[in-house]
A and B are shown apart, each in its own frame.
Chain A
Amino acid sequence: MVSISGMTFAPSDPSVVACPTFREIFEANARFVWRSLLSLGISENDVPDASQQVFVTLSNKLGRLAADCSIRTFAYGICLRVAADFRNRAHLRREHLCAVLPEPQAAASQEGLLSQREALRRLRQALDQIEPVQRDVFVLYEIEELPMAEVAQAVGCPLQTAYSRLHAARRAVAALLGEPTGDVG
């Protein structure tokens, strides 16, 4: 089956590469979109709505997906725009963006989990403070582990620029977390 802009056809030649349905695209990328939005500074309160907006926009834009662009890269481009929209509205919803994580009700045996959660909170704070163009590269490469070529494509910059942004982001994040910047260069 081949889907062209949502129309699903069944060519007689079975060698035609199958295109995923939108539901398959959703299932394959929902966690990625959710996680990316969190890393892009969207609060946990807003992530469900932002994720919904990403997928609604994605459904509209699939027809413009270039042949050499992966759906994940394309989706991340939409994540960037949606996250920017949410951040632009931050002055209206500051209380959400600055919301602290719920006070943990944990036993001592969960100390490691709490430590990890605290580390994540600090990382997100650091990502909020660095240059957005550096943060985008850092998130895609260090958290989502996309190849640098795809990272550059997703953020729309030359490959060497992406490398530069990554190194700058690493140093900035390490400094904000009080880590030796020499370890991350």
Chain B
Amino acid sequence: MMTSPDPVRLRSRLGGTSSLGRALQAAQAAGPDDKQLQALEQDVFAYLGATAAVVTAALVKAAPASTAGVTTWLSTGSAKLVLAALVTSAAIGGGTGLVLHQTRATAPRENRGLPATATKPMRPSIAPMGTPPTEPAAIAMPVESPPDQPAPAMTPSPDKAKAAAPSRNRRAGTGSAAGDDEFPLLNRAHRALPRDPAGALALAEEHRRRFPGSSLDQERELIAITALVDLGRMAEARRKADQFARQYPASAYVGRIHTLVNSQTK
């Protein structure tokens, strides 16, 4: 269908000859100065970094001092939070692997090279808003979203996230026995992806066999589909992507998987 061209913008039509034209010019030139921009950047990334750090700190604090790594005692729910934090950490850049290393360490946090921003408290003004996540479970909402429920509203709901977590943990059904190995297994698969997609795929399949009905099933499928794409097994990747979309229509990963599969077919 032909669409009419957009109308001439007022700034072009009026120029600087009218107060409205001058105001539009000024509005377009408005914005933060470099100092304000830098402060905003620090605040945003400190908030996101601190969120991941809080998850890790809570896990490390609860770990037995004698264990070699806290991942050996993680429950499925806790592991999901860590994986979610890992996802968030990777998303914001510069933090990839940070959470992983911390969860495996038993040294005090200050000795593990946490960036300074990770311990910076978030701005107090954020908390009363109610809409941003106030704790790690909320910041990782994409992986907390139950597959059989509609996607949450645009505004995150920390309360819902907290309420959903226990039931998701119970749904795993195998308690700590399953959690013992589940997260390390998936984490190995994730880390293997860039260099060894076949290995990553094998690990994902192993996860599927050993942990049917896991609360990390969406993450596993994401890894498997990515591996298949990397291996050029596009028919299988598309089949899995379709199955994923049917099984988890409200998942945060659906759009990205669609993009990934289709970007390879063009």
Q: Which residues of B contact A73 (CB under 8 A)?
A: none
A59 touches B36 (CB 8 A): no
Assembled-state Cα–Cα distance A86/B11 (Å): 29
Which chain B residue shows the least CB distance to A117?
B26
B252 touches A64 (CB 8 A): yes
Which one of B16-24, B53-61, B103-111, B175-183 is at the interface?
Answer: B16-24
Which chain A residue shows the least CB distance to B258?
A67
Assembled-state Cα–Cα distance A119/B30 (Å): 12
Indicate whether A72 reaches chain B with its CB closer than 8 angstroms.
no
Q: Which residues of A contact B39 (CB under 8 A)?
A: 48
Indicate whether B88 reaches chain A with its CB closer than 8 angstroms.
yes
Contact residue among B28, B30, B123, B230 (Cβ-Cβ distance under 8 Å from A49): B123
Assembled-state Cα–Cα distance A16/B256 (Å): 13
Instruction: Count A/B pairs, Cβ under 8 Å.
Output: 220
Indicate whether A34 reaches chain B with its CB closer than 8 angstroms.
yes
- B 65-97 to A, binary, CB cutoff 8 A, 1 in contact else 0: 000000000000000000000011111111010
Indicate whether A43 reaches chain B with its CB closer than 8 angstroms.
no
Q: Which residues of A contact B222 (CB under 8 A)?
A: 4-5, 7
- Number of B residues with CB within 8 Å of any CB on chain A: 78
Q: A48-B36, A48-B39, A120-B27 are in contact. Are A6 and B22 (CB under 8 A)?
A: no
Contacting B at CB under 8 A, from A32-60, are 34-35, 38-39, 47-49, 51-53, 55-57, 59-60
B20 touches A184 (CB 8 A): yes
Contact residue among B23, B32, B45 (Cβ-Cβ distance under 8 Å from A122): B23
Which chain A residue shows the least CB distance to B226?
A9
B3 touches A149 (CB 8 A): yes
B22 touches A60 (CB 8 A): no
Which one of B113-121, B125-133, B162-170, B209-217 is at the interface?
Answer: B125-133
Q: Which residues of B contact A143 (CB under 8 A)?
A: 24, 27-28
B91 touches A57 (CB 8 A): no
Assembled-state Cα–Cα distance A174/B126 (Å): 36
Q: Which residues of A contact B129 (CB under 8 A)?
A: 53, 85
A6 touches B88 (CB 8 A): yes
Assembled-state Cα–Cα distance A59/B41 (Å): 13
Q: Which residues of A contact B202 (CB under 8 A)?
A: none
B16 CB, nearest partner CB in chain A, Å = 9
Q: Which residues of A contact B45 (CB under 8 A)?
A: 23, 26
Indicate whether B235 reaches chain A with its CB closer than 8 angstroms.
no
Indicate whether A116 reaches chain B with its CB closer than 8 angstroms.
yes
Contacting B at CB under 8 A, from A52-93, are 52-53, 55-57, 59-67, 77-78, 81-82, 85
Q: Which residues of B contact A120 (CB under 8 A)?
A: 23, 26-27, 30
B44 touches A56 (CB 8 A): yes
- A 89-120 to B, binary, CB cutoff 8 A, 1 in contact else 0: 00000000000000000000000000111011
Assembled-state Cα–Cα distance A64/B151 (Å): 9
B27 CB, nearest partner CB in chain A, Å = 5
Contact residue among A2, A34, A59, A178 (Cβ-Cβ distance under 8 Å from B92): A59
B91 touches A3 (CB 8 A): yes
B262 touches A16 (CB 8 A): no
28 A-B pairs within 8 Å (CB atoms) are namely A2-B226, A5-B91, A5-B142, A5-B222, A5-B256, A7-B226, A9-B193, A9-B226, A12-B231, A15-B264, A17-B263, A21-B92, A23-B45, A34-B37, A39-B27, A55-B40, A56-B48, A57-B155, A60-B133, A63-B142, A63-B256, A116-B22, A119-B20, A120-B23, A122-B23, A142-B11, A145-B28, A178-B19
Q: In the A-B complex, list the 6 residue pairs whose CB atoms are closest, starting with the nearest.
A: A6-B91, A63-B252, A123-B23, A119-B23, A120-B26, A23-B93
Q: A7-B87, A49-B123, A60-B141 are in contact. List 18 more A-B contacts (CB 8 A).
A: A4-B226, A5-B252, A6-B89, A10-B193, A11-B229, A21-B93, A35-B30, A56-B132, A56-B133, A57-B131, A59-B139, A60-B138, A60-B139, A63-B253, A119-B23, A120-B27, A122-B23, A179-B20
